[in-house]
Amino acid sequence: MRVHTLKRAVVALALALPGAAIASVVAAPAAHADGCYTWNRNLYQGRSGSDVRELQLRIAGWAGNNNVVELDGRFGPKTAAAVRRFQSAYGLKVDGVAGPQTYRKLYQLQDNNCTPRHFAYTEMDDGCGGSGWDGGPLSTGQTRQNALRTMWKLEALRKSLGDQPLIVTSGFRSRTCNNRVGGASDSQHLYGNAADLISRDRSLCQIARQARNHGFSGIIGPGVSGHNSHVHVDSRRENNQDRSANNTYWAAPSCGIPAGNR
């Protein structure tokens, strides 16, 4: 058994034990799962902290129809609802509380660098084949963090599509790259917030329709000029710090999604 697996078992035991038993277990040095992150307490409505934010990052794709999970470190009703959707999708006990079972599934899903297991930074890094996260309007660290959130949303979308592969044809673009491919001057690709998707197993319309349930405030697909060969998804509401419904834009007329704000 790998060392980090043993550490996970210790943490899970600590979460399950009451009172003094917990104190004796969690007094050990903090463990890390897969070189990424380990939770050491149950999380539920009313709790707050960096561990809540780490949870929110990973369940951002379970926000529900036309909604987002803010990465604010506060466990409120939206976070609880997203946890329940995540639990239901993976056959866990549905109670809205992030505890050992929920964490175990998250550990199974994440790689050592915190990306979900079916997506990688290399897929999201500069749509013109470059490397690095510079050349956009944000710092490299914030752009990379946005790309990580996008990947966790894509993992949720993939799960809801029957665990069929999604292929990212364009992720982050530097300004130079964006100009080269004719992207809009305010493209969400510049911020690491966007991905263009295709699938060998699911239609573009299936992707576009399902994306409405997974935290994407921007969806552009078939029926829109330049988007008949892929589906564009993005997180413009979070990028603009404006979570109002009128900052959600979906357009895939050929899929029964009329163009407009939601």
Write out the CATH class of domain 3-109: mainly alpha
Could you report the per-residue pLDDT of 193-204, keeping only the tens digit for each?
A: 999 999 999 999
Could you report the per-residue pLDDT of 28-51, keeping only the tens digit for each?
A: 334 444 579 999 999 999 999 999
Over residues 78-102, mean pLDDT: 98
pTM of the model: 0.86
Task: Enumerate long-range contacts of 101-104, CB under 8 Å, 24 or more apart.
Answer: 103/8, 103/11, 103/12, 103/15, 103/38, 103/39, 104/8, 104/12
The predicted structure's pLDDT at residue 246: 59
Q: Is 227 a catalytic residue?
A: yes
Q: Give the whole-angstrom CA distance, residue 53 versus residue 24.
A: 26
Q: pLDDT averaged over the chain?
A: 87
Q: What are the sequence ranges of the domains in the chain?
A: 3-109, 121-261
Q: Give the whole-angstrom CA distance, residue 140 versus residue 86.
A: 30
| 151-155, 206-210, 242-246: range with lowest mean pLDDT | 242-246
> Quick check: 7 pLDDT over 50?
no
Q: Tokens 């100009």 — which residue?
A: 179
CATH fold for the domain made of 121-261: Muramoyl-pentapeptide Carboxypeptidase; domain 2 (3.30.1380)
Instruction: Indicate which residue of 189, 227, 230, 232 is catalytic.
Output: 227
